Amino acid sequence: MKAGDYYILALLHQIYLKFLFWAYKPESSPGSRQIQLWHFILELLQKEEYQGVIAWQGDYGEFVIKDPDEVARLWGIRKCKPHMNYDKLSRALRYYYNKRILHKTKGKRFTYKFNFSKVVLVNYPILDMASSPFFLCWCADNFILDD
DNA sequence: TCCGGAATGC
DNA sequence: GCATTCCGGA
């Protein structure tokens, strides 16, 4: 691959993450519903200030929890569960295996991988990522015309 | 460390 | 339904 290709891929990655955020929000925001763990994980992953705690690494969609205790602490604060720890948090992550939202990258410590297409389909069955006109319209509205 | 069953709560 | 808590086993 050329250097330019990597740039385009990085750009697509950014667009896709923004799309994911947009896609799951309507489901989680209507007041009453509690935030879900994978929403929270994506949230941390988006913020540069948490790169020392959790970050994208390796294959596409793969991320590493660099500081398990800190991630658990932050999750505990969000859910008002002061006794949260990585053991419990990781059990919740393991429940995502069957739902095909996440899977484990075997052999790599604290490393998991998102099944991004599944994540979008769970919330918006009609939407099929890049092939969807919704996605293109969304890009136009939120990214391309942005700057 | 990582897995998944079981009981429980909201 | 989505965790939280606890835990025996690999």
Domains and their CATH numbers in chain A? 3-142 (1.10.10.10)
What token pair was written down for A137? 């319209």
pLDDT by residue (tens digit) across A50-104?
Answer: 999 999 998 878 999 999 999 999 999 999 999 999 999 999 999 999 988 899 9
Contact A86, A71 (CB under 8 A): yes
pLDDT by residue (tens digit) across A11-45?
Answer: 666 676 766 666 665 444 444 468 899 989 998 99
A124: left (phi over 0), alpha (psi -120 to 50) or beta: beta
Render the burial of A52-78: b for 16+ CB within 10 Å, e for the rest.
ebbebeeeebebbbbbbebbbbbbbee
Q: Is the CB of A146 under 7 A from strand C?
A: no
Measured in degrees and rounded to the nearest 5, phi and psi for residue A131 equal: -75, -10
- In the predicted structure, residue A117 carries a pLDDT above the cut 80: no
Q: How far is the CA of A98 from the C1' of B6 (A)?
A: 17
What token pair was written down for A11? 């750009």
Q: Is the CB of A79 under 7 A from strand C?
A: yes
Confidence (pTM): 0.74
Strands (E), A1-147: 54-56, 62-65, 102-104, 111-114
